[in-house]
Structure 1
């Protein structure tokens, strides 16, 4: 496989995935916040809460539409750009994606329509149920996507079938309740809740600092502050759980996050910052004793292996994997060879490590010690991008706890609009949740390299046989298209925020045409609305 083709395929999927992930967390967060606001409306009967639900629901709708538009493309890429991946693990990976489409996406899409058009057709309780089902659908969607992604990080409940040359499910419930998937799910949705809270608080702060829509802004800010503080605390706590689970199943990723090349006595220290030397290894490190080992292993006695030791372990697994690979070739030549099947059954979990040698030679069973050493070295992901990205994400996580704690205190005192510098600071803080979220996604996916499925299938072995021209054209097209869509979405959201809240989601004029809330009642908009 041409490695430039692999790299371009990775860039294309990364670009589309990270564009898509701009919209996912906000969808998750806003769906719950507007459900909370409508619950208050139903309980109190105060129309301001209905207006708040309508306003944030309009922004949710724009974001939801963009999420759908950018998400559909990603699934097509599995067949177009990663065809061997689809063949090799499609029986496992495709199951949760299918359930996501049937259970979560259809549920969410159906009730989104009822949310927008059911205000005057459903009872208060009926519409509230619809809104909570929209939130439930958004969370269900995240669950099944992360079940699929969690399996890529920790491929449980499955086994390689030498007769079909595919990974197949052996225990579906093990796939669903994969500890990596469950930890990723709760951490990801908490980040989405935090994103929604910052979004609502920032726009509310903008209204307050300008003295516009003050009543709605104050109530929205109170909800955002309370929800945001709980979300910030859960993000950090559940992020710690996600790291602990990764220590169990992805030791190389954890070692790379800490730039820890040598195994330290337990419990290992944690590096606040480090400076790499010419060989990529740290020449200076400012560390806190014990913290790294306690966070990752939750033990005073368990060692956290370093990169060098893990590379040595990878060499052993590559050698064992070549035994499985040789047995697999014998089974393919003679399906009735029971001796070869017995050997393969014993060593198949290391088959993926043997496939790392395909980068250097076709007949992996004849690999030299030097080639095995190079393949083992490939199991080390990019250390320093992971090291600094992790600290950006973690720093923002702890910052948000302090930030929302401050706002919670001020809200409890009724000081929501008394400090203009803090309000402006909150407005300009709006992009930062996405920095933390995209950093987390980068850590999860880049930190798994060189595997597309951890220990099972190398990334370079999973790509389709496309040409460089194919990928350059498609990558350029997607980046251009998604950038244009993103700019349009931002402009539309700015327009809706400037227009402010409306009494109705869709306003009827005397000609009984409909125009979108937040847009001027021009003839063109009336025609579009009708």
Structure 2
């Protein structure tokens, strides 16, 4: 069997990343929801809200532990499976990950303990602060991770040093304020909020169907529907921003998502449905909405979105320019650095350094890019096109689910406002059956984001094929089998614990109802009279 270490390494990272992201969105959303519930408890003194906080907090804790254990493995993979990637961009990529571990994760992990064990040891306000710190730490962790990921999509604030053969930071603030990273952060976090809202809504609906824990279920559904409606609307708005940024920074990804083979006159039409044919470079049975893609992608009537065929031609020219940069880089290194190299070589390198990565696309075909034939260059240019069909359908299913969540949350928000949550059993069943859908949408979103970037591990800088470690394919295959087995066991354990906690329901709260300050004042006035 012919095993490809690059394909296996990609599959392993995709497997662990998709497993890990089964836990992340619920952690992000539940951390904020339980903080909101505890805030209401502190403001009102009503024990039902503390009971709600504790109950949903147990489910958060189960999910949090599994998220941490699966996330740690991913960071080790950078050194094990992607050693050249770690060497090439470690100065840049490592900084956000280090900050995430030192600041966000320690904050989150420390206050998680206070949340679970501090109910009888901290004041109400003190415990509330700990709960909000858990939520803050969870979201800060996502921020730093997505800053690192956003840099892979749009490598700003850095430059290539031919003497060290590494990417180095030139402007760390540009890395932090990368527009792609910021858009990905708010979009991803909002998706996590939707996931938690649908989860809370569905579990609460199940309680109403069973006639159990009615007060907790109704209040939880009210919080989840209002919070989820705002989050679902945010996902759509912020997803539009991500698409607009892809128009600026990732032309091929956007063209593949839309199945846009030809450059259309502005404003381009949007393909609602169709069957992408990669070999024929066309969409069969396509249904279009005129002008819509141009308005979404460029926010204008005159902006042009390049098609895949034109982007292939552009990539071929950039590969040829990258070969010149590669040749100049070797000459500069042989001369001992820029100071000793000829001005012509230095000028050529500086002119085409941003296209050096395109020359590396030739490595699967020839060891020395300078020896590549015209056919190899043309093939490398064609390799810049990801598989269109998976992206095309992943994006559309994700968008369809996003619209569904808006409708679902809006319906339950209206019902909660009218205090009629238990009046329509069939709607409650819809909410229960909707629980898995946010995870499907989230996983499809990551497929669009990461699979759409191929063949680059860093957009335009480092091809995926050049980033892997020198490992035996059978070694990677063995770890895939191991990770798959272990992660499957972990998911079964988590599902069992979550279902057990849901079936058991909230624990009776032995605490004393604490009246509002205004109620205390009124009572004193009555007593004094």
Displacement of 1:199 in angstroms is 0.5
Displacement of 1:214 in angstroms is 0.4
CA-to-partner distance for each residue in 1:470-516, whole Å, 9 max, x for gaps? Answer: 0111100000000000000000000001111014699xxxxxxxxxx
Higher mean C-alpha deviation, range 177-186 or range 365-374: 365-374
Q: Does 1:314 align with 2:318?
A: no
Displacement of 1:342 in angstroms is 2.7
Kept in 1: contact 2:47–2:509 (CA 8 A): no
- Name the counterpart of 1:442: 447
Distance 2:98 2:290 in 1: 46
Q: CA RMSD in A?
A: 1.3
Distance 1:364 1:477 in 2: 37
Query: Does the residue aligned with 1:399 lie in a helix, a strand or coil?
Result: helix
CA-to-partner distance for each residue in 1:51-78, whole Å, 9 max, x for gaps? Answer: 0000000000000000000000000000
Matches within 5 A, 1:418-497: 418-497=423-502
Query: Does the residue aligned with 2:306 lie in a helix, a strand or coil?
Result: coil
Query: Does the residue aligned with 1:455 lie in a helix, a strand or coil?
Result: coil
What residue ranges of structure 2 are gaps of 5+ in the alignment?
512-529
Matches within 5 A, 1:202-241: 202-241=202-241
Displacement of 1:460 in angstroms is 0.7
Q: Does 1:326 align with 2:327?
A: yes
Q: Does 1:197 align with 2:197?
A: yes
Q: Does 1:411 align with 2:412?
A: no
Query: Does the residue aligned with 1:357 lie in a helix, a strand or coil?
Result: coil
- Name the counterpart of 2:354: 349
Would the alpha carbon gap of residues 3 and 290 (structure 1) be closer, same or farther in structure 2, given more than 3 Å must change? farther
Kept in 1: contact 2:3–2:473 (CA 8 A): no
Query: Does the residue aligned with 2:263 lie in a helix, a strand or coil?
Result: coil
Distance 1:175 1:468 in 2: 34
Distance 2:276 2:407 in 1: 31
CA-to-partner distance for each residue in 1:265-313, whole Å, 9 max, x for gaps? Answer: 0010001101234625213210000111100110100111000011111
- Name the counterpart of 1:295: 296
Displacement of 1:11 in angstroms is 0.6
Would the alpha carbon gap of residues 216 and 93 (structure 1) be closer, same or farther in structure 2, given more than 3 Å must change? same
Displacement of 1:372 in angstroms is 1.0
CA-to-partner distance for each residue in 1:365-402, whole Å, 9 max, x for gaps? Answer: 13222111111101001101000000000000111111
Matches within 5 A, 1:395-406: 395-406=400-411
Distance 1:503 1:55 in 2: 10
Higher mean C-alpha deviation, range 184-193 or range 334-343: 334-343
Distance 1:288 1:4 in 2: 41
CA-to-partner distance for each residue in 1:247-270, whole Å, 9 max, x for gaps? Answer: 110010000001010000001000
Query: Does the residue aligned with 1:359 lie in a helix, a strand or coil?
Result: coil
Kept in 2: contact 1:222–1:411 (CA 8 A): yes
Distance 1:108 1:70 in 2: 16
- Name the counterpart of 2:275: 275
Query: Does the residue aligned with 1:494 lie in a helix, a strand or coil?
Result: helix
Distance 2:342 2:165 in 1: 17
Q: Does 1:161 align with 2:151?
A: no
- Name the counterpart of 1:337: 341
- Name the counterpart of 2:519: none
CA-to-partner distance for each residue in 1:109-139, whole Å, 9 max, x for gaps? Answer: 0010111111111111111111111000011
Kept in 2: contact 1:3–1:460 (CA 8 A): no
- Name the counterpart of 1:522: none
Query: Does the residue aligned with 1:22 lie in a helix, a strand or coil?
Result: coil
Structure-1-length-normalised TM-score: 0.94
Higher mean C-alpha deviation, range 439-448 or range 497-506: 497-506
Displacement of 1:3 in angstroms is 7.0
- Name the counterpart of 1:52: 52
Q: Does 1:140 align with 2:140?
A: yes
What residue ranges of structure 1 are gaps of 5+ in the alignment?
507-530
- Name the counterpart of 1:14: 14
Query: Does the residue aligned with 2:272 lie in a helix, a strand or coil?
Result: strand
- Name the counterpart of 1:264: 264
- Name the counterpart of 1:515: none
CA-to-partner distance for each residue in 1:375-432, whole Å, 9 max, x for gaps? Answer: 1101001101000000000000111111111111111111111111111111011100
Distance 1:111 1:276 in 2: 49
Kept in 2: contact 1:40–1:49 (CA 8 A): yes
Query: Does the residue aligned with 1:449 lie in a helix, a strand or coil?
Result: coil
Matches within 5 A, 1:344-383: 344-383=349-388
